[in-house]
Amino acid sequence: MLCLILEKDTLSDYVPQYAISMNSSPVLCDICQLPSRENSAIIMLATGMQTKYCRQAAVTIVWLGLLVDLKKTNLKEKQMTAQIIDGKAIADELRKEVAEEVARMTAAGLPKPGLATVLVGENPASQVYVSMKQKACDQLGMESFGFKLPADASQSQVEGLVKELNADPRVNGILVQLPLPSGLDEEAVLNSISLEKDVDGFHPINIGRLAQKGREPLFVPCTPDGCIYLLDKTGVQLKGANAVVLGRSNIVGMPVALLLVKRDATVTICHSRSKDLPGIVRSADVLIAAVGRPEMVRGDWIKPGAVVIDVGVNRIDDPSHPKGSRLVGDVAFDEAKEVAGAITPVPGGVGPMTIAMLMRNTMRAAKIAAGKVPA
């Protein structure tokens, strides 16, 4: 039996009267952990009548197959919304740590860590990402070397450049900005990056090692690693947790799922052919959403108290916004934060972690080159 306490005047007509008791002796609500008051309605939920979500203000109960909305309780002032995971602050802290390591390294007479970026074509989003990465290098005291090739560059031109960078001792990390223009073989390009310089972690050998028990990649892909870093910083216990990953892409969904398995979570990977996404997501103690579908995950998909990492970055029209549009994640944040235990915002969640992790990987590559970390 689950005991739920609501204010009487907020009850929906759909709640069967027999289920409501106006008990005068105070009892505690199992959800809110607040005591009943004089005009409280006490609802006893039998097994099988599960709360879809209950975060004090809006409560939905599956009642004999009916969805019952109990719109508003008078407990609003006691609402317990999710902890907002501040990715920007966590990333800033990590960047500071990397900058300190760079300073120690150069003070010891070693060269600055260097990152080479390779941009093929004129994709505006890629141009922005590359310039953000170069700026981050500058801020952290690292060298950055920017290379641009035209959109019609040949496969051998791109691979030739990567080979030159492989041989350049000033370059510790090589980042080929994805996606590459159509017609180029992305896998072959990634394959041509030296394993010790693969700071994006997308080299097939690094990904293969990530997938194998007892093996470790030299570098872990930045966005997935950033998700795990946020979970660790939030103190989330991954061992034995039910984790659901929405998305199975090579750059986010699949590597993050592999990382979760390595951390002893039980992982379900969903994709565009998965059935009953809401049902699967409701089983998640930890949810990683990386589908690229604006606000697809609704609040009532989320298990109360779950930790939600929203990787999605989607621009939607919003005439009320000065720019006429704004960024949203794959999760309906305003709904989800009323249910989840902790959640990342968009922007300001996973996004800043990606570059911070790239900086950390570049530092690691410089240590490998200096013989301070085994390759």
Binding region for ligand NDP (CB under 6 A) = 223, 246-249, 251-253, 270-274, 277, 290-293, 311-314, 350-351, 354
Between 273 and 323, name the residue whose CB sits nearer to ligand NDP: 273
CB 295, min distance to ligand NDP, A: 11
Query: How does strand 286-289 pair with strand 143-149?
Result: unpaired
**How far apart (Å, rounded) are the C-alpha atoms in residues 151 and 145?**
19
The question of whether 200 is a catalytic residue gets the answer: yes
133 is catalytic: yes
Question: Measured from the CB of residue 228, what is the shortest distance to ligand NDP in angstroms?
Answer: 14
Q: How far is the CB of 140 from ligand NDP (least distance, A)?
A: 18
CA–CA separation, 227 and 93 (whole Å): 15
Q: Which of 200, 225, 285, 330 is catalytic?
A: 200
Comparing CB distances to ligand NDP, the nearer of 33 and 272 is 272
- CA 241 from chain center: how many Å? 16
Least distance between ligand NDP and beta carbon 330 (Å): 6
Q: Is the dihedral of CA 18, 22, 28, 33 positive or negative?
A: positive
Catalytic entry in 52, 133, 262, 367: 133
Complex with ligand NDP: residue 233 or 293, whichever CB lies closer: 293
Tracing tokens 């980042």 back to the chain, one arrives at: 175
| Spatial contact of 137 and 144, defined as CB atoms under 8 Å apart | yes
**Alpha carbon distance 88, 138 (integer Å):** 18
Residue 33 near residue 54 (C-beta atoms within 8 A):
no
- The sign one gets for the Cα dihedral 316, 308, 177, 151 is negative
CB of 178 vs ligand NDP, minimal distance in Å = 9
Pair type for strands 59-63 and 51-54: antiparallel
State the minimum distance, in angstroms, from the CB of residue 253 to ligand NDP.
5
Pair 309, 330: CB distance under 8 Å: no
Cβ distance to ligand NDP smaller for residue 217 or 312: 312
Nearer to ligand NDP, 310 or 338 (CB): 310
- DSSP helix/strand/coil, 58: coil
213 contacts 185 by C-beta, under 8 angstroms: no
Asked about 33 being catalytic, the answer comes back as no
Strands 143-149 and 40-45: unpaired
Cβ nearer to ligand NDP, comparing 58 with 252:
252
Cβ of residue 94: shortest distance to ligand NDP, in angstroms?
14
Of the candidates 134, 177, 310, 337, the residue annotated as catalytic is 177
DSSP SS3 for 120: strand
Alpha carbons 61 and 151: distance in angstroms, whole number:
54
Kindly tell me the burial class for residue 157, based on how many C-beta atoms sit within 10 Å of its own C-beta (0-12, 13-18, 19 or more).
middle
Give the residue with the Cβ less far from ligand NDP, 45 or 90. 90
Q: How many residues does the chain have?
A: 375
Catalytic positions, written as ranges: 133, 177, 200
